[in-house]
Amino acid sequence: MTPSRPQLTLDALLVEAELFAAQESVHPEPAMFGVTDGKAVGTYIEHKFQAHLHERYLFAFGSSAKGIDYPELDVDLKFTSVRQPQSSCPFRSARQKVYGLGYSLLVFVYDKTDDPIAKTGTLNVLHVIYVDKACTADWQTTSGILKILANQGNLDDLLAFMSERMLPLDEIQAEQLAEEIMATPPQPGYLTISNALQWRLQYRRVIEQAGAVPGITRVL
């Protein structure tokens, strides 16, 4: 009989991410030769990582309700090039810039190189970083809010700041969020989150701070 696979845990996910990254970094792949589309590269490596996990663990992958890859672990998977370490994610509300995305991130940052003689492409994974959901708010937004509060700022100061930062809120939503901030100040976030139809997440600060800030773990 084939032994049953254990349930995937967060610790196991991080261990397997490190193992997979090391394997992928030395694997020349003909299907990746000449591919420059970041989405195509991300899809390839994501499917390969899922197959790697499926061989070893039981888990539910993907959730249309939550819109994240590992709903049972509250973790979303991101693959991005070191040349422009960023990705998109669904927009839920402007609160995400202040209080975080509502789930954690597992970010693989790779550098793709092609071998023109062998006609293969290799994805050298330079960083694997786990960002706890408590750290997934926007750096400039949270640091600005915390400075205002430290300087005895009030509701009007917060409303002016949110207007300057162009948070996608109407007047009523802005006032509700300002009141929530006064009652419950946010933690510092370490992402750069740009306004768009989808949030645009940028990871340079996460890469810089990995291992130095609680909640941002350098897996590799």
Reported pTM: 0.93
Q: What is the C-alpha to C-alpha distance for residues 30 and 48, in angstroms, rounded to an integer?
A: 14
pLDDT for 66? 64
- Asked if 129 and 216 touch (Cβ cutoff 8 Å), the reply is yes
Which tens digit of pLDDT belongs to each residue from 148-185? 999 999 999 999 999 999 999 999 999 999 999 999 99
CB count, 10 Å around CB of 23?
A: 12
User: What percentage of the chain carries pLDDT values higher than 70?
Assistant: 96
Distance CA 67, CA 4 (A): 28
Do residues 128 and 110 make contact, with C-beta atoms less than 8 angstroms apart?
Answer: no
Amino acid identity for residue 175 in this structure? E
Work out the average pLDDT over 196-203: 86
**Distance set, CA 209 to CA 22, 111, 120, 174, 179 (Å):** 22, 19, 33, 30, 30
Q: Is the pLDDT of residue 63 over 80?
A: no
Q: How confident is the model at residue 65 (pLDDT cuts 50, 70, 90)?
A: low
How would residue 62 be classed by pLDDT, with cut points 50, 70 and 90? confident
